[in-house]
Structure 1
Amino acid sequence: MVKPFSPGEVVARVKAQLRRYNQLSVPADKSDVLSFQNLKINLQAYTVELNDKYVDFTTKEFEVLRFLALHANQVLTRQQIYENVWGINEYGDLNTVTIHIKKIREKIEDDISAPQFIKTVWGVGYKFGGSGK
């Protein structure tokens, strides 16, 4: 951080780091793998399987997918996704979320014009659909 900085900024950065630490330090158990139809997301191994074949994801693509899957059937704004994946104090554009969603869809959707996993809720954000466990 560059001086001068506000106490609020320090608190926000510490909270963001704690949130990231807590997301990555979940104890290992059967809930490490989220299953949605033919899609399996291994939270600890950072791997994605589609139809029993591994799909390559960048770290940020995986983190976006993980965040959406952990909040399945909830509508999330681009702002919420950005703050939880990149952090509240990162410099960037909300279009980054849109671009990552597009790349993820290209990897996991059969038809990106009619997605079955990541649905767009117009004027609000995105929702990860499908039944999971």
Structure 2
Amino acid sequence: MLQVHSLPVPLPPSDARRIGNLELRPAELQVLVDGVRAGLTVREFELFSVLVERYDRVVPRPEIYELVWGGTMPHRDRSVDVFVRKVRRKLTTVAPEWQYIHTHFGIGYRFAPVPVDESA
């Protein structure tokens, strides 16, 4: 007689971090929203992790650049802005009702999950 075994549901790694409906899995370089993978690249994950680790703090663009790319940010470099836009787009695809990254013009970015105001 053939026995059927159900596969266990994989538990998140011990270094996983949950913030509301968002889950960061550094060991897998994955971000999940309500269990759905956001599909971030390694560089996008690194940038997003920098912001999440500094929850609700405005992180200046040069600091983000230094932590993610290493070294000093070249004058007029837009890498941080481009990658923030990519991360936002991917997060919006899996969680259109949430805004995770906030822009502080002339300074940098801040991670703080807030529901999108539907009346706007």
Q: Same fold (TM over 0.5)?
A: yes
Alpha-carbon offset, residue 90 of structure 1: 7.3
Distance 2:75 2:24 in 1: 27
In the alignment, structure 1 segments of 5+ residues that lack a partner are 1-28
More helix by share: 1
Partner of 1:104: 87
More strand by share: 2
Q: CA RMSD in A?
A: 2.3
On the 8 A contact 1:41/1:49 being kept in 2, the answer is yes
Say which of 63, 76, 87 aligns to 1:80.
Answer: 63
Deviations for 1:70-115, whole angstroms, at most 9, x for unmatched residues?
111110011000000000157686311000000000011316xxx6
Amino acid at match of 2:18: S
Given the two structures, how large is their TM-score scaled by the length of structure 1?
Answer: 0.66
- Does the C-alpha gap of structure 1 residues 51 and 93 become closer, same or farther in structure 2, counting only changes over 3 Å? farther
Amino acid at match of 1:45: E
The percent of aligned pairs where both chains have the same amino acid is 28
Say which of 80, 104, 108 aligns to 1:125.
Answer: 108
Instruction: Answer with 1 or 2: which has the greater Rg.
Output: 2
Q: How many residues align?
A: 99
Q: Which has the higher contact order (CA 8 A, sep 6+)?
A: 1
